[in-house]
Structure formats: C-alpha cells, structure tokens
Structure 1
Amino acid sequence: MLLEVSNLAVDLTGPGGAGRIVSGGTFALDEGESLGVVGESGSGKTMTALALMGLTPENARVSGSIRFEGRELVGLSEEAMLALRGDRIAMIFQEPMTALNPLHRVGAQVAEPLVLHRGMTREAAFDRAVQLLDHVRLADPERAAHAYPFALSGGERQRAMIAMAIGCGPRLVIADEPTTALDVTVQARILALIDGLRTESGMALILVSHDLAVVAGHCDRIIVLYAGVIMESG
C-alpha cells in the first residue's frame, strides 16, 4: 500500500481556543490508484491535503497516522519532509498565480526541485524544465520557461505547476482543485493531461474538488467530506 491514513485529525488554535478542522480521517491509496476527495468549501479537503504534505499552518496540530511508503509522516522532522516533498510526493496547488513566485521566471521555478532533489546544475535543470513544459503540452515551452508567471494564461500557469510537480517522478501527486477559475474547455484539457501523465508514469493521484462530476470521470474511488468528517467512501 502506497499511502495509509488512519484517524487523521487537524486542530487549529486561535484566539477563541482550539477547533477541530479534520476529524478521524481514514483512507488508503495503492500504487497507481486515483482517489477523489469531494466536499463543499470549508469541509476540510485542502487541510487534509496539506496535512499529507506537512504544510499545515503553524497554529495547526496534526494527530493520527499518515504512512507513506511504509514511513510515518506525522511527527517527521521538517528536514525529512523537505527530502520527500517535491520528490516522492508532490502537490499541484489550487491557484497557480499565487503558488508561483511572481519574481522568478517560470523555468527557474520548474527547475528548482531538480536542483534540490536530483543535484542537477541550474543550467541543466533549466534545460530539463523546458522539456517538462513541452511534455505538459505548452505551445511554446522555450518562451514559457523564460517568462514570468503574469505573462502566461491561467491554463498555461496550471500546466507549469503540473510540470513542476512531475519533474522528479513522484509516486503520489495531490491535485488541489487544479481547474479552479479555468473555463470548461481548459478544465477538460488539464484533467485529460493529468490522466495521461498518471497512466504514463504509474503515479498515484489524489484529486481534491468540490465538483462531484469532475472526480467521477477521473478517479477510481471517491471519499466525501462534510465538516471535516468522511461521510461516504465508495
């Protein structure tokens, strides 16, 4: 089993005390499998995804068990998580305009995980980033690599985020509402691209969405969250 989550809970502490955002989450994911996580806004979808990545806010406390490739992630040091994050497990964030750094060229950002996890030189990593941008079917990958995020369309930025996520060949990719704010045609292309990459590489996928119709056509199994609790699984 690639990922085993048991009794996952996330508590946030604020001025009024602690509140439980995610409660008792239990699910598993096998190699190459795709899991849809569905729920309305505020149901705990994104917080669950962030807990898996070790990216919860500073005022959050994560408890329970998250075992990835047999290794317990809850309580793992930040240094150890940095070695996993972007390498064995990667995330496609919800809004690429805020997830991408506006001060750095797109190619340099796609290349960064290759420098950190594969020890490539920045020049070699940038060349590989151009190849990755071409792989996710950007029309002019060379131009996109030298551009800043604001110069790309929403769909192009999302493709750049996907290129960054798959660069190191992760075993698990978490896509947090990857089609938010995209029109229906671009949304379909992005989802088809993710499907194709998953089939090609054998990676597992967790697709987070508020849209049941989106995950219905792209996932093997679905769990439904409401108020931080898994209400249904099937």
Structure 2
Amino acid sequence: MNTQLLQYARIELTTALMDLSGGTKGQLEAFSEHPPADKNHYPRQHIHKVLLETAGKNVREVRSERAPTYALETRSRRRPAPPMKEFEFASCAWRRAVNTLPVHQNSWIRYCYGFDLKFEHQKNICEAVWLAYQKNLPAGLLAKTKKRLISLVWLAVQDVAAKNKNESYKEYAGAALANLMEISRSTWCEVYSPHWKGLKLAVSELDSDSLIQVLNCKERSVFEEVIE
C-alpha cells in the first residue's frame, strides 16, 4: 500500500480519535460535579429553611443542605443541540474500524493517533513488538544483552510514534542512546545498533499493518452499506 494512503489514514484517525471530553458542559452537569459550597460551618447568613405544606396547623420546617443559587439558562438556542456533532458522526466509520482490530493493533492506533496514554495500551504494544522481534535474536545471545534490548522496546515505540506524528522529529542519536544505557559508543555500534534498527522496524511494521487493517475494514463497511 502506498505511503500517501497510509498518511491519509493517519490524518483521519487523528481527527476521529480526538478527545472532546473537555468541551463546554451543560448547567446541570456542571452543578452535579461542582455543587454550590455548603455554608453551614461558617455561615455568612442565616440558615435557609423550607416550609413544608401540612394539612393541620402544625408547621414543619426543614433546613436546606445548600444555599439556593440563582442561575440563568445556559442554552442559547431555541432547539437543543444534537446529541452528536456533525464531524463526530462523519468519523464514526473510522472508530468502528479501530474497534474491530486485534488488541495490540487497537492499542497502537489509540496510543499513536488517539494520544491515549493508558498503561494497558503501552503494555500491549511492547509485548507485541518484542514477540515479533525476538524471533530474529541469535541463539547464543547473552542474558544481560537481552535484558537491555527489552528496555529499548518502549523507547523504540516512542521514537516511531513521534516520527509518525511529526515529520521534523529528530531520531535518537547513537551517542545519546549509549549514554542512556551506560555503555560505550563502540559497544553500542557493534552490539546494540542493529537491534535498535530491528526494533524500530518491528514497530513500523505494526503501524503499517494496523493502518492497512483499518482501511480494509472501513472499505468493507462502506461496501456493505452500499449493498443494503
């Protein structure tokens, strides 16, 4: 699949998976999350009491939990806003396609293009990348070297994800990675540099495979809608 089509999928997924939870809230939702303060501890005015309607002469009073608050209606239009915005509805097909992916591909798409930093997604991605790459490891690899390679998996994931989101991103230099691992530059070039390139290649393959799966699933869903 060509690079332009994959880049198109990246742009559409970034829009479809955008987090819109910080939008303007309605008046009832805002009051339910942040109710007016209780003034019973240090009251600035008399405690508010509510008179209950009774059949006899006995009058019952109940103290209100909070002071009454006056607020104007926040709705600025005659008709209520739709439950879903137009661009959210237009991108539903992309989100449905992402939900059909396997766990590791779903986690990669949501982390890289949905900016979802859940630990579960990070764990699924690292396990999938290491499982795909460890098949290429030589039989006599030292346990110490293998342990250091495992520590590079998440760094390779971050490096490829940052490059996909920002074309001007500068990749990690060999000297910087050698300093992070507390090894000499010569040791990095001789032992770890080929593995670093292999790990990034495994992450890039995960990215392209996930995008292809999303495009194929979206194409099938559109084709089914046309048939119906």
Q: Say yes or no: TM over 0.5.
A: no
Tell which structure's C-alpha radius of gyration is larger: 2
TM-score between the two structures when normalised by the length of structure 2: 0.29
TM-score between the two structures when normalised by the length of structure 1: 0.29
Q: Which has the higher helix share?
A: 2
